[in-house]
């Protein structure tokens, strides 16, 4: 069995998070899958995870990598919560106006600075879509869970030095 080093695992997760945002933008701009506030919130979390996973992978000291990995785990839990909320609560509503997700998006102002990436363009009920029969937000949830597991792995696995 091949064991990944924590640095390689973190690098792969950072890349996976970045690719997921790219795929979401492709789905939006080429296939008309307009995002709701909870979709945008998950994009923001994936972008933060991209940078933080890559930063953790690049840190020279294993102790710093471990600390950062532990500190970032709650972000993955927030992503899981956002995906679950989107599916079980927000998608059942015809309006997502002024939800927690809207407040975060507005607080950071990303929707006005970069509207092509972060502007809310649909209600949660209208934005409901699936790929291969699996709701889009469950794909997101799965990636958040995998990233969380890798962060935990990074936090508890010692560096192997050659």
Q: State the average pLDDT over residues 112-132.
A: 83
- Using left for φ > 0, alpha for ψ between -120 and 50, and beta otherwise, residue 161 falls in beta
Whether the model clears a pTM of 0.85, i.e. scores above it, the answer is yes
> What pLDDT, in 10s, does the model give residues 16-55?
999 999 999 999 999 888 898 999 999 999 999 999 999 9
Q: Would you say 126 and 36 are in contact if contact means Cβ atoms under 8 Å apart? A: yes
> What pLDDT, in 10s, does the model give residues 89-101?
887 776 656 788 8
Domains of the chain, first to last: 6-156 (1.20.1550.10)
* Integer Cα distance of 40 and 109 in angstroms: 12
Strand pairing of 134-135 and 130-131?
Answer: antiparallel
Residue 2: per-residue pLDDT: 66
Euclidean distance between the first and the last CA atom of the chain, given in angstroms as a whole number:
18
Q: Which two tokens stand for residue 141?
A: 């949830």
Higher per-residue pLDDT: 37 or 160: 37
């Amino acid at each position: 069995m091949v064991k990944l080093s924590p640095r390689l695992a973190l690098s792969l997760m950072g890349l996976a998070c970045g690719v997921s945002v790219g795929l979401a933008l492709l789905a939006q701009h080429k296939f008309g899958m307009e995002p709701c506030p909870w979709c945008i919130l998950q994009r923001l979390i994936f972008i933060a995870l991209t940078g933080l996973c890559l930063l953790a992978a690049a840190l020279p000291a294993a102790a710093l990598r471990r600390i950062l990995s532990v500190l970032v785990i709650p972000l993955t839990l927030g992503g899981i919560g956002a995906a679950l909320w989107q599916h079980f609560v927000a998608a059942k509503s015809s309006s997502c106006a002024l939800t927690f997700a809207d407040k975060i998006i507005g607080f950071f102002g990303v929707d006005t600075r970069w509207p092509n990436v972060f502007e809310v363009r649909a209600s949660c009920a209208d934005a409901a879509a699936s790929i291969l029969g699996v709701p889009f937000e469950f794909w997101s949830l799965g990636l958040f869970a995998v990233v969380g597991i890798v962060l935990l792995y990074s936090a508890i696995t010692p560096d192997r030095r050659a």
